[in-house]
């Protein structure tokens, strides 16, 4: 690899990110020494990488941000995380479901917990998530349950794509309950464009939209932005000791 001013900017970016992946954090002085470049060049490069969302500037250097380090957990791994918090969230959400409602349930382990406790007469429930459907099917009662087909995404075991979306486009709901991988400012995010697009259609076709997330997801980032917090009826989350919920508590739509 070329050194100093002879290096292309893309080569410097790659070298900086490689160092960050190894160490998690890095100082400006370390980059100057390893790449033989000036202080001004390093700071300019770090500023550009921060604008691209690949790192966060800290005093004297930089660190990887949560999005860059993020690798989506498997369905099984997600099931064991923050179970008590998720249970409180779905219990609150279940109070919003009334007899005769037509509702959409998105994918996710929080939605599975909600599916376990939904009760009511004359309900019509649509989902694109296989585990959610399985839970709903255990308590059929006086309800109709619809599972949307399509291309199955293994990580979340939900159906996405053209077939799923065409079916959803012709459906309307009183309420939609959904989750996400990250909520940052007004942006609701997930890990794939396809999954976000499917949820977006369901949300647009719903009169009310309820976002169910544990507070650890607040302030994080993920790949695909698919909805805006301003268009959500309410956020149902937990009050964690770290105070993540405070970032959205000022919203009138915030619910605990």
| Rounded distance between C-alpha atoms, residue 107 and residue 236, angstroms | 16
Q: Are residues 63 and 81 both part of a single domain?
A: no
- 215 lies in which domain range? 75-255
Model confidence over 164-188: pLDDT tens digits? 999 999 999 999 999 999 898 889 9
Q: In the chain, pLDDT over 70 holds for what percent of residues?
A: 83
Q: Are residues 50 and 79 both part of a single domain?
A: no
CATH number for the domain that contains residue 30: 1.10.10.10
DSSP state of 239: -
- The 10 Å Cβ neighbour count of residue 15 is 17
Q: Are residues 11 and 120 both part of a single domain?
A: no
Nearest to 131 by CA among 97, 107, 149: 107
Q: Are 115 and 105 in contact (CB under 8 A)?
A: yes
Q: Are residues 129 and 233 both part of a single domain?
A: yes
CA 218 to chain centre: 9
Per-residue pLDDT, 1: 43
Higher pLDDT: 198 or 78? It is 198
* Strands across the sheet containing 55-58: 25-27, 61-64, 55-58
Mean pLDDT of 213-242: 85
pLDDT range class, residue 84, cuts 50, 70, 90: confident
Q: Are residues 176 and 233 both part of a single domain?
A: yes
Q: Are residues 213 and 172 both part of a single domain?
A: yes
DSSP state of 129: B
Q: Are residues 44 and 105 both part of a single domain?
A: no
Structure tokens at 131: 């585990």
CA 236 to chain centre: 14
pLDDT range class, residue 75, cuts 50, 70, 90: low
Q: Are residues 30 and 88 both part of a single domain?
A: no
> Angle between the 28-35 and 39-51 helix axes, to the nearest 10 degrees?
110
Q: In the chain, pLDDT over 90 holds for what percent of residues?
A: 57
pLDDT range class, residue 117, cuts 50, 70, 90: very high
Structure tokens at 102: 């037509």
Q: Are 157 and 186 in contact (CB under 8 A)?
A: no
H-run or E-run covering 126: strand 123-127
Per-residue pLDDT, 73: 58
Q: Are 164 and 158 in contact (CB under 8 A)?
A: no
Nearest to 55 by CA among 35, 29, 46, 30: 46
Nearest to 8 by CA among 46, 35, 39, 33: 35
User: Is the pLDDT score of 58 beyond 70?
Assistant: yes
Q: Are residues 57 and 85 both part of a single domain?
A: no
Model confidence over 229-247: pLDDT tens digits? 999 999 999 876 555 566 6
Q: Are residues 169 and 65 both part of a single domain?
A: no
Per-residue pLDDT, 71: 55
Question: Rounded to two decimals, what is the model's pTM?
Answer: 0.71
User: Which residues does 31 contact at the CB level (< 8 Å), separation at least 6?
Assistant: 16, 19, 37, 42, 45, 46, 61
- Choosing from 26, 44, 69, the residue where a domain stops is 69
Q: Are residues 191 and 100 both part of a single domain?
A: yes
**Residue whose entry in the numeric block shows the structure tokens 């479901």:** 97
Model confidence over 92-101: pLDDT tens digits? 999 999 999 9
Model confidence over 130-148: pLDDT tens digits? 999 999 999 887 899 999 9
Per-residue pLDDT, 254: 66
Mean pLDDT of 44-49: 90
Structure tokens at 49: 């990488």
Per-residue pLDDT, 251: 61
Q: Are residues 96 and 171 both part of a single domain?
A: yes
The domain total for the chain is 2
- Choosing from 44, 69, 94, the residue where a domain stops is 69
CATH number for the domain that contains residue 136: 3.40.50.1360
């Amino acid at each position: 690899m070329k050194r100093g001013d002879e290096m292309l900017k893309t080569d410097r970016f790659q070298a900086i990110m490689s160092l960050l992946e190894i160490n998690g954090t890095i100082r400006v002085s370390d980059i100057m020494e390893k790449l033989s470049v000036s202080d001004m060049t390093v700071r300019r490069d770090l500023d550009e990488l921060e604008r691209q969302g690949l790192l966060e500037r800290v005093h004297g250097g930089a660190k990887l941000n949560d999005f860059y380090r993020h690798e989506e957990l498997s369905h099984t791994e997600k099931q064991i995380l923050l179970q008590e918090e998720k249970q409180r969230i779905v219990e609150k959400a279940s109070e919003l479901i009334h007899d005769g409602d037509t509702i959409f349930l998105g994918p996710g382990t929080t939605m599975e917990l909600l599916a376990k406790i939904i009760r009511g007469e004359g309900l019509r429930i649509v989902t694109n998530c296989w585990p959610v459907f399985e839970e709903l099917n255990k308590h059929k009662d006086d309800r109709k349950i619809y599972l949307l087909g399509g291309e199955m995404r293994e990580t979340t075991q939900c159906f996405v794509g053209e077939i799923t979306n065409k079916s959803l486009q012709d459906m309307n709901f009183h309420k939609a309950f959904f989750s996400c991988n990250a909520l940052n400012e007004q942006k609701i995010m997930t890990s794939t464009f396809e999954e976000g697009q499917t949820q977006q259609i369901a949300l647009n076709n719903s009169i009310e939209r309820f976002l169910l997330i544990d507070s650890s997801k607040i302030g994080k980032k993920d790949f695909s932005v698919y909805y805006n917090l301003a268009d959500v009826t309410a956020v149902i989350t937990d009050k964690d000791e770290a105070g993540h919920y405070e970032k959205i508590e000022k919203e009138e739509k915030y619910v605990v």
